[in-house]
């Protein structure tokens, strides 16, 4: 799952660094992801993992790191 | 007469605050109904007195409303949102909004200067946490009544508040910060500043800090004129800022959080409150115009009276929409377990909606008010003159361009499931 997330971050996150070099807990916003870019990341994640983020999960802290995204997707899938 | 009443009001205020059994925390709902709050009464007095007296002059000369701001200082209203524990009045945001309305009824520039200053105070109050330097700054504010300016806009990023070109450059426990701002209200009068900047020279543009610069630590060199269509008293010229301070003045909460939790919602709420004041000002002129018409032909309803009745629901809509969101904001802000709600996309969209609808409504209201008063409203030297109100109203859509906000909302609505 993490490889797919990294690929999405690479394609849509507009990060200032290489998505493959990010630690799981690196703050994506501090790595250059803007709120605009994060919406595209969310859309791509929904498409890739066939999930829908409920509105209460559409917040900064959920999309802050690869680890938080992974746990959010797992939470929705279960 | 005001001179005799004011000390009484202040005494009542002190009594009310000290008698109150609970200590007022930032964001607490006030125990007094805001419209009867002594703070609001003080703002009402400054609005109807000094602000009203100088509003046309301030507008004509495009100069800072220093008479009214001096009065606000004299009543120590620049620190009213500072919590009681730090020596302030511990005003609620509700009270601040009513104060903005009162000032906005008479001078939009004074109201907007007051609103913008309070937005900066709110950022410091909500996010100072246990930082003793910031707390000491707020405690001093109750004495020195400094006016705090905001420098978010920047050459190269325009009105995108969440993006900076400039950066704080830290060396030991000091930093330097230089910024070319496109529009800094009362940049020439501000005692202190809150400035957005990248966290370091290598940080991406969206990784920002909010930095406090105090009097004596910065220079603001005006780099362009301020001769705008409206809001002429705000003195929102471009400035070149050169500053230097201690790292303890860099707020530890990331600006992204401050922006979502405080700066954006409080801005949109207090701006909307000033627009309500503006709308009421246009309605007041309309009413006296129609009353004058009615007096000249007793027994028959002037034809424009229907248009007046049509205007009233728009003002009510503007007022209720912001007050609903204000009540919601105050209740979330009083409960730390709910802070996260302010960082959701749904909340950001709602707050943006307030800015979008409010800034359109105020222009619509002022425009309709002009139509009702006709040539009497079109003439600048008439007591029904609508020119200043209408020109001021047009700033609402530009203070962060509405298309910029629509663009954000379009993006966020794509992913939001609810409305
Ligand atoms: C009275 C007043 C007081 C102000 N006070 C201050 C202050 O104290 N401190 C401060 O920092 N700033 C202040 N501002 C600045 C204001 O908030 C804007 O940041 C600034 O005016 C830049 O706006 P702009 O119109 O020049 O440029 P831009 O924001 O670049 O906008 C130009 C035009 O492009 C459009 N646009 C831009 N980006 C997009 C996008 N992504 N999608 C669609 N359309 C877009 C806008 O809607 C607008 O039509 C003040 C403005 C006013 C009017």
| ipTM of this complex prediction, to 2 decimal places | 0.90
Rounded to two decimals, the pTM is 0.92
What is the mean predicted confidence (pLDDT) over B388-411?
97
What is the mean predicted confidence (pLDDT) over A3-7?
94
In the Cβ-directed half-sphere of B153, how many Cα atoms lie within 13 Å? 17
* A35 to chain B, closest Cα gap in Å: 9
Q: Which atom of ligand 1 is nearest to the CA of B152?
A: 11
| Ramachandran category for residue B242: left, alpha or beta (phi over 0 → left; psi -120 to 50 → alpha) | beta
Q: What percent of chain B has pLDDT over 70?
A: 92
Angle of helix B108-127 versus helix B66-74 axis, rounded to 10: 40
CA angle B351, B357, B358 (to 5 degrees): 85
Centre a 10 Å sphere on the Cβ of residue B150 and count the other Cβ atoms it contains.
25
Q: Please report the pLDDT score of residue B419 as a whole number.
A: 74
Task: Kindly list the residues of chain B whose beta carbon comes within 8 Å of any beta carbon in chain A.
Answer: 162-163, 199, 203-207, 254, 256-257, 260, 340, 343-346, 348, 408, 411-412, 414-418
Query: pLDDT tens, B274-330?
Result: 999 999 999 999 999 999 999 999 889 999 999 999 999 999 999 999 999 999 999
What CA–CA distance (Å, rounded) separates B415 from B272? Answer: 27
Interchain contact, B346 vs A55, CB within 8 Å: yes
Surface of A (38-77) touching B: CB under 8 A? 39, 42-43, 46, 52-56, 58-61
**Residue B48 pLDDT grade (very low, low, confident, very high; cuts 50, 70, 90):** very high
Choose between B196 and B300: higher pLDDT.
B196
In the Cβ-directed half-sphere of B399, how many Cα atoms lie within 13 Å? 28
Q: Which residues contact B77 (CB under 8 A, 6 or more apart)?
A: B39, B42, B43, B46, B99, B114
| Ramachandran category for residue B128: left, alpha or beta (phi over 0 → left; psi -120 to 50 → alpha) | alpha
Q: Please report the pLDDT score of residue A16 as a whole number.
A: 87
Indicate if the pLDDT at residue B150 is higher than 70: yes
Indicate if the pLDDT at residue B347 is higher than 90: yes
Q: Ligand 1 pocket by C-beta < 6 Å: which residues?
A: B 116, 150-153, 158-159, 181-185, 231, 234, 236, 395, 398-404, 407
Q: Please report the pLDDT score of residue B31 as a whole number.
A: 45
**Alpha carbon separation from B361 to B323, B353, B391, B398 (Å, rounded):** 15, 12, 14, 14
Stretch among B26-40, B92-106, B404-418 having the lowest mean pLDDT:
B26-40
Q: What percent of chain B has pLDDT over 90?
A: 89
Indicate if the pLDDT at residue B59 is higher than 70: yes
Q: Please report the pLDDT score of residue B11 as a whole number.
A: 47
Q: Please report the pLDDT score of residue A78 as a whole number.
A: 86
Q: Are B153 and B194 in contact (CB under 8 A)?
A: no
Indicate if the pLDDT at residue B9 is higher than 70: no
Report residue B243: phi and psi, to 5°: -140, 160
Question: Could you give the dihedral angle defined by the CA atoms of residues B266, B269, B272 and B277, in that order, rounded to the nearest 10 degrees?
Answer: -90
What CA–CA distance (Å, rounded) separates B332 from B66? Answer: 35
Interchain contact, B411 vs A39, CB within 8 Å: yes
Indicate if the pLDDT at residue B247 is higher than 80: yes
Angle of helix A2-12 versus helix A66-77 axis, rounded to 10: 120
Radius of gyration of chain A (CA): 11
Smallest CA–CA distance from B198 into chain A, residue: A30
Stretch among B2-11, B237-246, B398-407 having the lowest mean pLDDT:
B2-11
What is the mean predicted confidence (pLDDT) over A14-29?
92
Indicate if the pLDDT at residue B32 is higher than 70: no
The partner residue sitting opposite B343, judged by closest CB among A43, A54, A61, is A61
Interchain contact, A39 vs B415, CB within 8 Å: yes
Query: pLDDT tens, B383-394?
Result: 999 999 999 999
Chain A hits for B163, CB-CB cut-off 8 Å, are: 34
What CA–CA distance (Å, rounded) separates B267 from B273? Answer: 10
Q: Please report the pLDDT score of residue B3 as a whole number.
A: 43
Indicate if the pLDDT at residue B268 is higher than 60: yes
Q: Please report the pLDDT score of residue B7 as a whole number.
A: 47
Q: Please report the pLDDT score of residue B418 as a whole number.
A: 84
Q: Please report the pLDDT score of residue B33 as a whole number.
A: 65
Residue located via tokens 């007046």: B308
Alpha helices for B334-416 (secondary structure H): 345-373, 375-378, 387-393, 402-415
Indicate if the pLDDT at residue B223 is higher than 60: yes
Query: For residue B344, what are the β-bridge partners?
Result: A59
Indicate if the pLDDT at residue B128 is higher than 50: yes
Query: pLDDT tens, B129-139?
Result: 989 999 999 99
Q: Please report the pLDDT score of residue B158 as a whole number.
A: 79
Interchain contact, B204 vs A31, CB within 8 Å: yes
What is the mean predicted confidence (pLDDT) over B373-387?
97
């Amino acid at each position: 799952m993490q490889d797919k997330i990294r690929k999405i971050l690479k394609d849509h996150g507009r990060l200032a660094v290489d998505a493959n070099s990010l630690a799981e807990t690196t703050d994506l916003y501090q790595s250059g992801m803007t709120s605009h870019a994060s919406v595209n990341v969310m859309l791509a994640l929904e498409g890739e993992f066939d999930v829908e983020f409920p509105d209460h999960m559409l917040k900064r802290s959920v999309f802050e790191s690869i680890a938080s995204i992974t746990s959010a997707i797992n939470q929705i899938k279960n | 007469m005001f001179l005799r009443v004011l000390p009484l009001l202040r005494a009542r205020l002190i009594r009310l605050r000290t008698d109150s059994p609970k200590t007022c925390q930032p964001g607490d709902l006030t125990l007094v109904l805001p419209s009867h709050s002594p703070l609001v009464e003080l703002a009402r007095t400054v609005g109807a007195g000094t602000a009203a007296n100088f509003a046309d002059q301030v507008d004509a000369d495009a100069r800072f409303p220093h008479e009214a701001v001096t009065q606000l200082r004299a009543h120590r209203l620049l620190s009213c949102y500072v919590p009681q524990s730090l020596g302030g009045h511990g005003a609620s945001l509700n009270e601040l909004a009513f104060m903005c309305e009162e000032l906005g009824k008479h001078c939009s520039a004074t109201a907007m200067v007051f609103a913008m200053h309070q937005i900066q105070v709110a950022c410091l109050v909500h996010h100072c946490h246990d930082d003793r330097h910031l707390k000491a700054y707020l405690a001093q504010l109750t004495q020195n009544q400094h006016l705090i300016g905001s420098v978010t806009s920047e050459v190269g990023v325009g009105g995108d508040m969440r993006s900076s070109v400039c950066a704080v450059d830290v060396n030991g426990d000091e930093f330097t910060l230089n910024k070319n701002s496109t529009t800094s209200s009362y940049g020439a009068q501000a005692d202190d500043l809150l400035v957005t900047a990248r966290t370091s020279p290598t940080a991406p543009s969206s990784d920002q800090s909010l930095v406090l610069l105090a009097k004596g630590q910065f220079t603001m060199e005006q780099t362009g004129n301020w001769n705008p269509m409206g809001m002429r008293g705000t003195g929102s010229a471009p400035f070149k800022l050169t500053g230097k301070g201690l790292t303890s003045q860099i707020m530890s909460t990331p600006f992204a959080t401050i922006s979502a939790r405080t700066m954006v919602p409080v801005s949109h709420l207090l701006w909307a409150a000033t627009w309500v004041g503006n709308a009421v000002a246009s309605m007041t002129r309309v009413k006296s115009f129609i009353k004058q018409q009615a007096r000249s032909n007793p027994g028959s309803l002037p034809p424009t009276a229907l248009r007046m009745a049509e205007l009233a629901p728009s003002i009510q809509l503007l007022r209720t929409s912001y007050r609903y969101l204000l009540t919601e904001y105050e209740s979330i802000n009083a409960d730390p377990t709910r802070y996260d709600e302010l960082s959701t996309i749904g909340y950001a969209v709602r707050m943006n909606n307030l800015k979008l609808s409010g800034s359109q409504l105020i222009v619509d209201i002022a425009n309709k008010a002009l139509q009702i008063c006709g040539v009497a409203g079109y003439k600048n030297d008439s007591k029904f003159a609508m020119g200043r109100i209408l020109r001021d109203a047009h700033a609402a859509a530009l203070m962060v361009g509405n298309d910029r906000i629509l663009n954000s909302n379009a993006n966020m609505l794509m992913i939001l499931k609810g409305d």
